[in-house]
Structure 1
Amino acid sequence: MSTIATTTDAAAVRALFEANSRAWGDTEAFAGTFTEDADYVTFFGGRMTGRHAIAEGHRGLFEGVLKGSRLYAEIEDLAFPAPGIALVHSRGAVLKGKRTRPSARALSVQTYVMTRGADGRWLIRVFQNTRHRPRVEAFSNWLAHRFGPRGK
């Protein structure tokens, strides 16, 4: 965590992260953790722009295939690149049934940009969700090492 942020900011950002996870399944509460002009990118590349679109994009899921599911989310890194801006990297997945931990295949890498509004409230401005593929990552790292500037 950079020195730009206060301990209070870090606690507020972590609380927002937790509130977003707890709100999973409740369309209005979930969308309420995002700014009015938020940008949301799904793991398959779909994009929702604005709180209303995020709500409508999740409503059918929460009432259908994801009904009763829960969100697993764990912060890996938290930084404050500028005052009032937080950058969060996390791992997350949707849990169904009695699962308490995601399978490796279901895990995603997530990036959040959170902003503090004029009222002091933190909300999610940007969310990017990318499905984690360990074998692809390992192969990509091998290629970079093998054929990159140091591999020659």
Structure 2
Amino acid sequence: MDTDTRTHAADLEAIRAVVATVERSQQRKDPDEFLTLFHPDAVWTTAHGKVLIGIEAISAFTRTVLPAADWAGQVTYEVAHVLFIRPDVAAVKVRQRYPAPEEESEGAPLYVMSRGDDGRWLLTAGQNTQVVAG
């Protein structure tokens, strides 16, 4: 295995770890853990179209909405596809599921992640989209 292949594999694993942390923080309704994943200048759009620019706006929204969320912790996030735009920038397609007694709902987030100077992958831009059956 050459160095590029090892680096690529390590980056994929790090990206999957970020998505796993998104899942865990959402399941626990933990805004503090969730907010550690963001680039300070991130742009985030919710599934219902609310645009949040910068960590302050993302934080204010998250601290209000996440603890009050109506799911009981069963939400899951699965990396569906990763496209490296550059070695330090990736588009990450995620499958998000919220089980419900009457009907499961699903989201289709797209995260743009960037690797910082410290080597950490961070959420830099995100667009969530609610999946509508039919």
TM-score range, shorter chain: 0.7 to 0.9
Cα offsets for 1:89-131 (capped at 9, x unmatched): 11113457xx7xx71xx21111000000011111000110011
Amino acid in structure 1 at the alignment position of 2:23: S
Cα RMSD between the aligned structures?
Answer: 2.1
How far did residue 62 of structure 1 move?
A: 2.7
CA contact (8 A) 2:81 2:92 kept: yes
Aligned counterparts of 2:68 and 2:19: Cα–Cα separation in 1: 24
Q: Report the equivalent of 2:12.
A: 10
Whose Rg is larger? Answer: 1
> Are residues 56 and 68 of structure 1, via their aligned partners in 2, closer, same or farther at CA, if it must alter by over 3 Å?
farther
Cα offsets for 1:55-79 (capped at 9, x unmatched): 2101122332447544311111112
CA contact (8 A) 2:30 2:67 kept: no
Q: Report the equivalent of 1:120.
A: 119
Aligned partner (choices 31, 37, 41) of residue 33 of structure 1: 37
Unaligned runs of 5+ in 1: 136-152
Q: Report the equivalent of 1:61.
A: 65
Amino acid in structure 1 at the alignment position of 2:24: R
TM-score normalized by the length of structure 2: 0.83
Q: Secondary structure at the match of 2:129?
A: strand
CA contact (8 A) 1:37 1:51 kept: yes
How far did residue 44 of structure 1 move?
A: 1.1
Amino acid in structure 2 at the alignment position of 1:38: A
Aligned counterparts of 2:126 and 2:98: Cα–Cα separation in 1: 15
Amino acid in structure 2 at the alignment position of 1:83: P
How far did residue 50 of structure 1 move?
A: 1.3
Q: Secondary structure at the match of 2:108?
A: strand
Q: Report the equivalent of 2:86.
A: 82
The size of the alignment, in residue pairs, is 126
Cα offsets for 1:31-84 (capped at 9, x unmatched): 111110111101111011112211210112233244754431111111211110
